[in-house]
Amino acid sequence: MFAEQMDAVYLVPTREGGVYEYRQAKKPAAEGGQVLVRVHAAGINRGEILMVKGFRSDNPRFKPVPSGIEFAGEIVEVGADATGWHVGERVMGRGMGSYADFALAGAMTLMRIPDALSYAQAAAIPNVFITAHDALVSNAQVQRGDTVLVTAASSGIGTAAIQLAKYFGARKVFASTRDANKIPALKEVGADVVIDTSQPGFTQIVEKETQGDGVDIIIDSVGGPMFADNLEMLAIKGRVVSVGRNAGEVGEINLDEVANKRAQIIGVTFRTRTPQEAWRCFEVFVEDCMDGFAEGLLKPVVDKTFGFEALHDAHAYMMGNNQVGKIVLVRE
């Protein structure tokens, strides 16, 4: 008897780099503490595009791998040890292989979807909101009355960080973008001041708006060329959290300014965390934020949706840098 099959997307190494292919794969089964979810929507993330270039077949370590890291859907099967979860529940979470008909996930990495949210909205939460919460709350330790700057603010992490900063009582939230056309949308998300970093003198706007004090926290997804500017805009005893390095991994740093400002430079990633550490990020996020989604105080920002068969179109749209918020694949 043949095993039941499903459609899935794999990242496949080639001599020129990785390519995303639609393939038939064996439908997984939930065992132990796992649940099987019928995927209705899955979030797109820039990291999956950036990793393509180095995913070359001349490196023997690289083999075809299931793609997609976040999903929203309906539980169809529950492992014997996945207590507290039931077939038919609407859930969202992080898990490898979410660009597929079904995704397997550990029960501890699941979150129930608030009734008011669609599957597309729910799929826009797990990766960016948990990452932004970890950066802003767990690491930068945002306090009521702080001032916060979010760089690359139109990204999924950026729109999440803006909302979370407001939710946790930030006095003023700055957002940066290189596209002036995005300013109204970023203000609608919750930014008090939006600065266009493509224009000269943008650091002076922050200086003026903070009466020369600078911002207490910077959530940075730009990296390299932005680092010196971030340090200039930072307040004494401020915290810079490096979440992403979309514009470069190497940046200049003035150590005297770091010392004089008594600055904290904090790096965050999930790649070097143990499963227990990653699970704790989920747990704290749920404790702190799920009521906010249920009450409408926090809202996932979905810029555009594509059908599951249009992953390549979704990637091309993302690389056009026109979105504000998340891009999501949905079942038609």
User: DSSP letters of 52-85?
Assistant: STT-BTTSTT---EE---EEEEEEEEE-TT-TT-
Task: Compute the average pLDDT of residues 236-254.
Answer: 89
Strand segments (E) across the chain: 5-12, 19-26, 34-43, 65-66, 70-78, 90-94, 102-106, 110-112, 147-150, 172-177, 193-196, 215-220, 234-242, 264-267, 302-307, 326-330
pTM score, whole prediction: 0.94
Helix (H, G, I), strand (E, B) or coil at 300: coil
Q: Band the pLDDT of 1: cuts 50, 70, 90.
A: very low
- Contact present, 242 and 268 (Cβ < 8 Å): yes
Spatial neighbors of 130 by CB under 8 A, at least 6 apart, are 94, 281, 282, 285
Spatial neighbors of 71 by CB under 8 A, at least 6 apart, are 37, 39, 41, 42, 43, 92, 93, 95, 98, 103, 105, 123, 126
Task: Compute the average pLDDT of residues 63-74.
Answer: 97
Decide the pairing of beta strands 215-220 and 234-242.
parallel
Bridge partners (DSSP) listed for residue 172: 147
Mean pLDDT of the chain: 95
Bridge partners (DSSP) listed for residue 176: 195
Q: Which of 115, 29, 43, 107 is nearest to 72 (CA)?
A: 43
Give the model's pLDDT for residue 250.
Answer: 86
Residue 3: pLDDT above 80? no
Q: Where are the alpha helices (DSSP H) in 100-216?
A: 119-123, 126-133, 156-167, 183-189, 202-209
Task: Compute the average pLDDT of residues 121-140.
Answer: 97
All domains in the chain, ordered by first residue: 5-125+300-330 (3.90.180.10), 128-267 (3.90.180.10)
Q: How do residues 251-272 score in pLDDT, each as one tens digit?
A: 888 899 999 999 999 999 988 9
What is the DSSP-derived secondary structure letter of residue 135?
I
Q: Band the pLDDT of 2: cuts 50, 70, 90.
A: low
CB crowding 73-101: b at 16 or more within 10 Å, else e = bebebbbeebeebeeebbbbbbbebbbbb
Q: Band the pLDDT of 143: cuts 50, 70, 90.
A: very high
Q: How do residues 16-64 score in pLDDT, each as one tens digit?
A: 999 999 999 999 999 999 999 999 999 999 989 988 999 999 999 999 9
Share of the chain above pLDDT 90, in %: 89
Q: Band the pLDDT of 286: cuts 50, 70, 90.
A: very high
What is the DSSP-derived secondary structure letter of residue 170?
-
Give the model's pLDDT for residue 95.
Answer: 86
